[in-house]
Structure 1
Amino acid sequence: MPQHVRPSLPPAPSAPPVPLAPPSPLASPASGPPPVPRRIVFLARRDLGNPAAGGSELLVDRIAEGLAAHGDHVTLLCGGPASPELSAPLPRGGTAGRGYRVVSAGGDAGHFLRVPRQFNRRVGDCDLLVEVCNGMPYLAPLWHRGPTVCLVNHVHTDLWSMRYPAPAARLGRRLEHWALAGTHRRNLMVAVSGSTATALHGLGVAPDRIRLVHNGVEEPGPLVPEAPEPLFLAMGRLVEYKRIDLLLRLWERVRPVTGGRLVIVGDGPERARLTAMAGPDVTFTGHISERRKHQLLCSAWLLLHPSLVEGWGLVVMEAAARHTPAVGFDIPGLRDSVDDGVTGLLARGESAFAAHWCSLALSAHRRHALGAAAAQRAERFRWGHTVRSFRAVAAEALLQTLPRR
């Protein structure tokens, strides 16, 4: 099979541009120069140096670095281990010598109870507090009276029952919903996608309080050729809702048609179970270097993303920047990062997922057309734009007093 170098491929057929934000009534970030320097504190479950870090941690890191580069004094108060400001290179693109301070409030679970005290003891006052709500909330408005913004990757409604017994799942779901629609009722909410914004509105959050700040992606650098033989890639934390077990079952149906290899990048609590159930021609790599990740994203024929829920699906755009289209399910988040039929394909069932997988593997022309369109769209999503959008939200939160509801 001839080797294809993606940068030389012709562009995909023209298609209507995909908007960077959903239409009104969602508001756009306010414009105008924000006051600097400001003291900004992020509350998040993990630091980027945590072995369990993922897309949410990378988003916070990129925003915090961008704010610090503009003169703000930024602190991340998190759970679990906290990497010092000067450290070894961090996973998923983190850098040594970050421009913001990282403070651990305690263990992964216990720190949720310790955050108010640790904030007062080790951080002190700030001009803006950013609560990153990924399921379990910090309920910051109950103990912090200053300007506050809530950043939401996705609402965890369907995930609570996957991770916890029924009573705990109901409690967690109600607590999350109350925090988002109740305790933050006077604050601006940052959503990473139109799907997340819609979910927030469904909980009762007023659309005029929701601001969209999309994830970015790095400039990919020089590309490497597509693999000469079929190479399919899945990448992410190995947890239940990523549904790698489903991917392994579908691989048994796809492999006789396409041949090739399935490479699964990442680690997590599901790895041992998934490794035990994997069939032939499946490789688990664990954590890999940024250089190796870049090589795999370039050489892969397809990125496979069978997740049940996503806020955005950061790896989808990372693959897109390298001319690699994605196949996923038609779920919130992926509807935003994948332009169905233009930059990848979304399936509405398991059989459709397998069919999309096979059809793109067998049609180099269509696969490359989708990849070229994906790379063109990815150029519109860069971390610089993410930081500018968030700075505008921060300025609005500081300068605007929201009306009571």
Structure 2
Amino acid sequence: MNILWINHRDPRHPNAGGAEVRFREIARRLVKIGHEVTLLCENVNELPPEEVLNGIRIKRIGDKASIHILALKYVSKFGCKYDLIIDDIAHAVPWFSPIVTRTPVVAQIHHVHQEVLYIELPKHIAFFIAKLERTIPKVYSYIITVSRSTKEELISKFGINRKNIFVVPNGIDLTRFKPGPKDSKPTILWIGRIKKYKNLEDLLYAYKMIEYVVKNTQLIVIGTGDYEPRIRELSKKLRIKNIKFLGRVSEEEKIVWMQRAWVVVSTSIVEGWGMTITEAAACGTPAVAYNVPGLRDSIIHMKTGILVEPRNLKELVNAITSLLIDENMRTKLSENAYRYSQRLDWDLIACTFARIIEKIAYR
């Protein structure tokens, strides 16, 4: 099957994140089983307009705005050459491929952006993009999403028929993410793009209180983003001493910190899945996170981690503190998290994905 996959970024893009990891891991496995995959994505200066990565053809056109027009033109002209098109809607705005081609199209949606848009963007821009996102049920007949809770949001907020939504969770490279030595210090790990809706400041306020209860702790922050200056300023204001901002790190260093951490924390108010949560689980590290869509799928409450009420600092402090001081609880959740992660091998995920897109392509 000849597949065209449309996404803003490719795995080599300087701002590549979880959506690009998912693309890389699934697409290269689709190539291995005999499919052809072409990725149409935005261009960046330091990368060539075309190349082949892991057997995947990469075509880079336009910038993050113009690619929406250029992608439509490309699909209008060349869409008929493909057996299936995947519109990967990682940033709220649909690609609208079904409007210009008769080739079967499936949308992939990581999470619903509606409320997040008003946190991250000026109100008038947020309103416009939210309106575009709400066109999804009118444009697409079939949707793949990464979690059950995102599926339920698509049904409740957009009125999409549940029979047309397929859930394929994010996977883990189990050959790389595996348990390792724990740090001698009680170590809290936060990983992600530092955005306003990720609420890293909640963890800083919580950590300030945790320091008084659990001695010799350290907080490790991996990631960058436009909200980072505000977070660094708050860290200085709170006079937090044992905090390290590591910025963007290599995959190898990220894995080492996932192994060393005693607990990984997510304070985001929405996630499609929470890939770093399950990657840390494969390293034997339990999680504390807000009980929100996506994170409630990647964490099984009181088995692989602890879910707390969003923005409730008291609950956040108590949950993290409990895992740091209660070795029996931490060990139990760590073992459960590891066992749970073994179900999420990318090979199994890619096989499920392949079966679904084959059915859609040949209906």
TM-score range (shorter-chain normalised) is: over 0.9
2:286 aligned residue: 325
Question: How far apart are 1:121 and its partner, in Å?
Answer: 6.2
Paired position in structure 2 for 1:101: 57
Work out whether residues 222 and 246 of structure 2, in 8 Å CA contact, stay in contact via their aligned partners in 1: yes
Residues 1:381 and 1:159: Cα distance change in structure 2 (over 3 Å) = same
Give the C-alpha shift of residue 83 in structure 1: 4.9
Aligned to 2:114: 157
Higher helix share: 2
Partner of 1:16: none
Secondary structure, counterpart of 2:219 in structure 1: strand
Q: Is the 8 A contact 2:181 2:260 kept in 1?
A: yes
Alignment RMSD: 1.9
- Give the Å deviation of 1:114: 1.9
From 191, 194, 199, give the equivalent of 2:148: 194
- How far the C-alpha of 1:322 sits from its partner, in A, is 0.8
Match of 1:210 in 2: 165
2-side partners of 1:351 and 1:107: how far apart? 43
1:226 partner SS: coil
Is 1:351 matched with 2:351?
no
Determine whether 1:231 maps to 2:194.
no
**1:109 Cα deviation from its structure 2 partner:** 2.2
Match of 1:303 among 252, 264, 285: 264
1:165 Cα deviation from its structure 2 partner: 2.1
State the structure with bigger RCO (CA 8 A, min sep 6), 1 or 2: 1
Q: What CA distance in whole angstroms lies between the structure 1 residues aligned with 2:162 and 2:65? A: 31
The one-letter code sitting in structure 1 at the alignment partner of 2:184 is P
Cα distance, 1:128 vs. partner?
0.4
Aligned to 1:10: none
| Distance in 2 (alpha carbons) for counterparts of 1:136 and 1:224 | 40
For the 8 Å contact 1:263–1:284, the answer to whether it is kept is yes
Aligned pair count reads 352
SS in 1 for 2:181: coil
Aligned residue identity for 1:145: R
Q: What amino acid does structure 2 have at the position aligned with 1:182?
A: K
**1:92 alignment counterpart:** none
Matched, 1:138 2:99: no
Question: In the alignment, which residue of structure 1 is the partner of 2:246?
Answer: 285
Instruction: Note the alpha carbon deviations across 1:382-404, whole angstroms, 9 max, x for none.
Output: 1011111111111111121xxxx
Deviations 1:233-273 (A, max 9, x none): 00111112211122112211112112311000011222222
Judge conservation of contact 1:105–1:118 (CA < 8 Å) in 2.
Answer: no
Supply the AA of the counterpart residue of 1:214.
Answer: P
Whether contact under 8 Å (1:136, 1:172) holds in the other structure is yes
Q: d(CA) in 2 for partners of 1:85 and 1:298? A: 37
What SS does the corresponding residue of 1:199 show, helix, strand or coil?
helix
- Asked if the contact 1:52/1:268 (under 8 Å) is kept, the reply is no
Q: Are residues 1:258 and 2:221 paired?
A: no
Question: Closer, same or farther in 2 for the Cα pair 1:77/1:123, shift >3 Å?
Answer: farther
Q: Which deviations, in whole Å up to 9, do the C-alpha atoms of 1:181-238 show, x marking residues without a partner?
A: 1111xx2210110001101111111011111111110114663211111111001111
Please, which moves more after superposition, 101-110 or 387-396? 101-110
Structure 1 unaligned blocks of 5 or more: 1-37, 88-95, 401-405
Partner SS state of residue 267, structure 1 = coil
Of all paired residues, the percent bearing the same amino acid is 28
Classify 1:105/1:227 alpha carbon distance in 2 versus 1 (closer, same or farther; 3 Å): same
Change (3 A) 1:122 1:255: farther
Give the match for residue 326 of structure 2. Answer: 363
How far 1:312 sits from its partner (Å)?
0.3
More deviation, 327-336/155-164:
155-164
The TM-score, its normalising length taken from structure 1, stands at: 0.83
Counterpart AA for 2:245: F
Distance change (3 Å), C-alpha of 1:80 and 1:241: farther
Give the structure-2-normalised TM-score: 0.92
Q: Is the 8 A contact 2:80 2:101 kept in 1?
A: no
Q: Are the structure 2 counterparts of residues 262 and 221 from structure 1 closer, same or farther at C-alpha, using a change threshold of 3 Å?
A: closer
Contact persistence 2:3–2:83 (CA under 8 A):
yes
Secondary structure at 1:107's aligned position in 2?
A: coil
Per-residue CA deviation, residues 52-109 of structure 1 (Å, 9 max, x unaligned), is 111111111111111111111101111242856998xxxxxxxx94210111121112
**CA-CA distance at 1:122 after TM superposition:** 7.6
SS of residue in 2 equivalent to 1:379: helix
Q: Equivalents in 1 of 2:211, 2:149: separation in Å?
A: 33
- Greater Cα offset, 250-259 or 378-387: 250-259
- Distance in structure 1 (CA, Å) of the matches to 2:288 and 2:348: 26
Secondary structure at the residue paired with 1:328?
Answer: strand
Q: Take 1:119 and 1:80, find their aligned partners in 2: how far apart are those partners?
A: 17
